[in-house]
Structures are given as C-alpha cells and as structure tokens.
Structure 1
Amino acid sequence: MNWNTDVPKVRVWLITLFFLLGGAAHFLIVERFVSVMPAYLPWPRELVLISGVFELLGAVGVLFACTRRWAGCGLVLLCLAVFPANLNMALHAERFNEIPAWLLYLRLPLQALIILHIVWATELLRWRGKVSA
C-alpha cells in the first residue's frame, strides 16, 4: 500500500459511498426523512429531495480532482444544514422508538467527525507550503 496515493483515494471513496447511499435514501424513503424534519421548516418534502440531490452531487463531485474541493465545501455546508433535523430527532427521541435514544445523541458529535473527514479528504484546509522553524 502506498500511503501517499492509496489512502487519499480511500478517503474520497468513503465520502462518495456514504453520500451516494444517503442521497439515494432521500428518494427511496422520502417519508422517513420528512418525519425527522423540524416543524418550523417549510416544505419538508421538498427540502428532503433537494438535500438528496445535493448529497448525490457532492458524492460524485469529490471523485474528480477539478471539483473535489468545491464538492467538499458543499458537503460541509450540507452537513451543517441538516444538523437541525438530527438535533430534532435527538430532542424528540420518543417519536423514533425504533432507534435507541443514545444513538440519536451519538449522531450529533459523529456529524462533526464526518465534517472533519470531508475537510481532510477534500483538502479544504491544505497547507500551501512548508513552515520554517
């Protein structure tokens, strides 16, 4: 295994797989996603479908070097945008009996880790040069 070439590819493919599956799920189980939307957000069905489209676009975008950083930026923003739905699930765990409450709360810090992985894998914060001592 070449750590300089293989590991970055694995990181990108993990993001692609994660968001391809998630994006597709937005279209396959729409009502499930609608049920987790906070009540204060208008047009929940449309927002679910739009977020699914952006997940799919981001998943494909990270595969290409020329769009990787833009796609990474978009996926980070998308993760921040869907955070209220994840928080809503945790705060109203009684509505989601099939999922243990601890798992709903665990999703919140895991989302931060997903964001960090996106930033790392898409080199959103790459160093421009060497730091001299």
Structure 2
Amino acid sequence: MKNSYLLIEIIASFHRFDYIVLHNLNKTISMQETGLYIMSAIYILAGIMHFVTPKTYLKIMPPYIPAHKTMVLLSGIIEIILGVGLLFDQSRFYAAFGIILLLIFVFPANIYMAKRMKEKQSKNRWIAYLRLPLQFVLMYWAYLYV
C-alpha cells in the first residue's frame, strides 16, 4: 500500500513539473521537446521504480551478473541521473548517449527474461519478446537528442 501512495506522489510531482515546463505562456513546445520531456519522465520514473519494487528487477538479472541488488539500485540511480540530464542543454548529449549505452548494457537481462519466461511457458512471455525490439526503438529515440 505504501508503494501505491509513493507512486501516486511521484506521478503527481511529474504533473506539477509538466505544468511548470509545458504551460509557459510565452512559448509553444515542439514535438521534439515534448518527446524529450516524455523520455525524461520515463527514465526518471523507471529509475525510481528500481527502489520502489526492486524484486521486479532482481527477477530478470542473469545469474552471471554479480551483486544483483547493488546492480539494480545502481541502474536505478543511473536512469534517474540520465533522465534529469536530458532536461538541460549542457548535459543532453551525454545523457542521451548514456541512455543508449545503458540500453545496450541491460539488453542481456531482457534476453534472459525472455528465455526464462519461455521456459516457464508464461502467458505474459509476449511482453518479454516485445521488449527486445523495443530496446532498439528506445535507442533510436535517445539518438535523436545526441
């Protein structure tokens, strides 16, 4: 129940952020800027979720990766930093490039998750299969801001 309240507060804070950024009366926001804000919110929220529900991420960690819990928390911190970095002109290039690298580094976990779900004959394995090509779409999306 605490996680639900935390998630609601996180979403509400993004709404306040959205209001401040997107409702500037003197400026219209382009589609590219809108995409940037959406991408930033996705990575910040995904990073926060590493702390809210770490078990979800621990389940998809391949056994050959050491220190599972540390890696989950570290990747959450990195996602938050990269998501925030997208918001500033000075760091946008590095953040977008970092997102591409992050997606490359977590790809083995997505493959592992797909294999595990196939072995277990999970009814939701299609989600794991969908994530694999989605990683390349996300890389391209980040590349637009490099």
Task: Percent identity, please.
Answer: 32
Instruction: Please state which structure has a larger fraction of its residues in helix.
Output: 2
Q: 1:89 aligns with which of 113, 120, 124?
A: 113
> With CA pairs under 8 Å and 6+ residues apart, which has the higher RCO, 1 or 2?
1
| 1:6 and 2:14 aligned | no
Please report how far the alpha carbon of residue 32 of structure 1 lies from its aligned counterpart in structure 2 after TM superposition: 1.5
- Runs (4+) off by over 3 Å: 94-97
- Two-structure CA RMSD over aligned residues (Å): 1.7
| 1:21 and 2:61 aligned | no
Look up the match of 2:65: 41
Where does structure 2 lack aligned partners over 5 or more consecutive residues?
Answer: 1-27
Count how many residue pairs are aligned between Structure 1 and Structure 2: 118
Looking at structure 2, the residues matched to 25 and 78 of structure 1 have their Cα atoms a distance apart, in angstroms, of 16
Looking at structure 2, the residues matched to 96 and 27 of structure 1 have their Cα atoms a distance apart, in angstroms, of 28
Q: Using structure 1 for the length normalisation, give the TM-score.
A: 0.83
1:109-120 matches, cutoff 5 A: 109-120=133-144
8 Å contact 1:89–1:96 — kept in the other structure? no
Q: Using structure 2 for the length normalisation, give the TM-score.
A: 0.76
Look up the match of 1:65: 89
Where does structure 1 lack aligned partners over 5 or more consecutive residues?
Answer: 125-133
